[in-house]
Homo-oligomer: A and B are copies of this chain.
Amino acid sequence: MADPRLEILERRLANVRKIIAVSSGKGGVGKSVTSVVLALALRDRRFKVGLLDLDFTSPSTHVILGVRDLQPIEDYGIIPPVAGGLSYMSIVFYAFDNPAPLRGLDVSNSLIELMAITRWGELDYLIIDMPPGLGDATLDVIRLVKNISFLIVTTPSILAFETVKKLVNLLNSLKTPILGVVENMVMDDKGRIRGEVDKLGVRYLGEIAYDAGLEASMGSVEKLKGTRFYVSLERILKGLL
């Protein structure tokens, strides 16, 4: 039996110029905050930007953005609502505040279903907030989204970086493009990660300091734009464009 969803998935992304998966081997390194702020910063430069949260079992971007009372519109598929100027899609539109205990197969199916029915329209950038680890979602975007590239987030900790090495190794062996590595939550810069990233043959894009003011900005796009985190990411973005 043929799965008709795979047939349209690619077409749904046909008018998206650049697709960036924000990823890491590890959780808690700042993928979600980076995804949101990256999307907002691109939007501030007048790009048309979409944000897709693929961390189905622990979605965070809706909390960071402060999304409330929004819902996609059903129209020959579904049209993502706009949050903070971004075309925004998340499983929380369907799971709400309930736990979503999804096995890998369910994650894969949900991802395919959502991507097959979501009509992004024309976008300059689609930013995808990935779940941690090298599981179904990561393997599926690599396999199904042809022109994807990865932005990797790490912290200065050896625990995070060990998993990042594995992710780089995997992406390299699959010839999936890596934009580079962002070092987040830097407290006292020792330059260790920069050297390690160089050794991997991957671009070190810059660092984002630990920002004690970030937590108080959660849920407000305006406040997020006033954080040091935002300023740091802006600087990194300059080197990326």
Contact = CB atoms under 8 A, between A and B. Distances in A.
A163 interface: yes
A167 interface: yes
A99 B160 CA distance: 14
A136 B158 CA distance: 26
Identical copies in the complex: 2
A185 B134 CA distance: 26
B133 A131 contact: yes
Contacts of A180: none
Contacts of A162: 60, 63
Interface in A130-187: 131-136, 138-139, 155-160, 162-163, 165-167, 169-170, 187
A106 to B, nearest CB: 8
- Report, as a range, how many residues of chain A touch the other chain: 35 or more
Interface in A177-205: 187
Interface in A97-155: 97-108, 131-136, 138-139, 155
Most buried by B among A100, A155, A163, A165: A163
A135 to B, nearest CB: 6
Interface of A: 25-29, 32, 55, 57-58, 60, 63-64, 97-108, 131-136, 138-139, 155-160, 162-163, 165-167, 169-170, 187, 212, 215, 218-219
Given A63-B159, A104-B105, 16 more contacts: A28-B160, A55-B133, A57-B134, A58-B132, A60-B162, A63-B162, A97-B165, A98-B169, A99-B166, A101-B138, A103-B108, A103-B136, A103-B139, A131-B132, A156-B215, A157-B215
5 contacts: A26-B60, A97-B166, A98-B166, A102-B134, A132-B132
